[in-house]
Amino acid sequence: MHMHESCIFGVMSRIDPTESTVNAWARLIRAQTKVLDAVEEDLKAAGFPPLAWYDVLLELRRADGAGMRPMELQAQLLLAQHNVSRLIDRMDAKNLVRKKRASNDGRGQLVEMTEAGRDLLRRMWPVYRRAIQRHMGSKLDTSETERLAELLGKLLDHGS
């Protein structure tokens, strides 16, 4: 069993995944797709825009009135630059956000939430949280959600 492994300084560094890793990978893709699709569908059925809009508004609320640069949104939401640019445009067109020129950087924009945006955020949350519970929370107990979050956190770590 020496194939597909490389051993440097006594630390085994695998090149190919174990069967267990491939299995976890497959389930990660499918479980997220299934749960996300279901939640998006609940939101749509209630007449709300896609989750991405909620995510933008939530980030802007975290920024707490200070506004955010598009590139900050891009980093937080794991979206491509051009998609952020256009998502903001669409939300601006619906008056959910507002764009200003960044005062200290002439290249940049500063995006802030409007009152209508704050209102949408408030109205979406009750539907959103029930969807999360229905499609995810109801399938795991507390110790399981905690462990799941912990394991997924390792995939989000920057190091290694």
Does 108 bind DNA (CB under 7 A)? Our answer is: yes
Residue count, binding to DNA (CB under 7 A): 23
SS (H, E, C) 73-142: HHHHHCCCHHHHHHHHHHHHHCCCEEEEECCCCCCCEEEEECHHHHHHHHHHHHHHHHHHHHHCHHHCCH
Of 35, 109, 130, 137, the residue at the interface with DNA (CB under 7 A) is 109
Encoded tokens for 97 = 């956000």
- By beta-carbon proximity to its own copies, the closer residue of 100 and 126 is 126
Does 76 bind DNA (CB under 7 A)? Our answer is: no
Write each residue from 40 to 59 as x if it is in contact with DNA (CB under 7 A), else as -, in one continuous string. ----x-------x-------
Q: How near is the Cβ of 152 to its own copies at its closest, in Å?
A: 4
| Closest of 129, 111, 126 to residue 61, by C-alpha | 111
d(C-alpha 11, C-alpha 46), whole Å: 52
Q: Residue 11 CA to chain centroid, in angstroms?
A: 33
- By beta-carbon proximity to its own copies, the closer residue of 26 and 95 is 26
Of 107, 138, 153, 160, the residue at the interface with DNA (CB under 7 A) is 107
Does 87 bind DNA (CB under 7 A)? Our answer is: yes
- By beta-carbon proximity to DNA, the closer residue of 99 and 118 is 99
Q: Which residues bind its own copies (CB under 8 A)?
A: 13-18, 20-25, 27-37, 78, 129-130, 132-133, 136-140, 142, 144-149, 151-157, 160
Q: How near is the Cβ of 126 to DNA at its closest, in Å?
A: 21
| Closest of 116, 87, 88, 84 to residue 100, by C-alpha | 88
DSSP 66: S
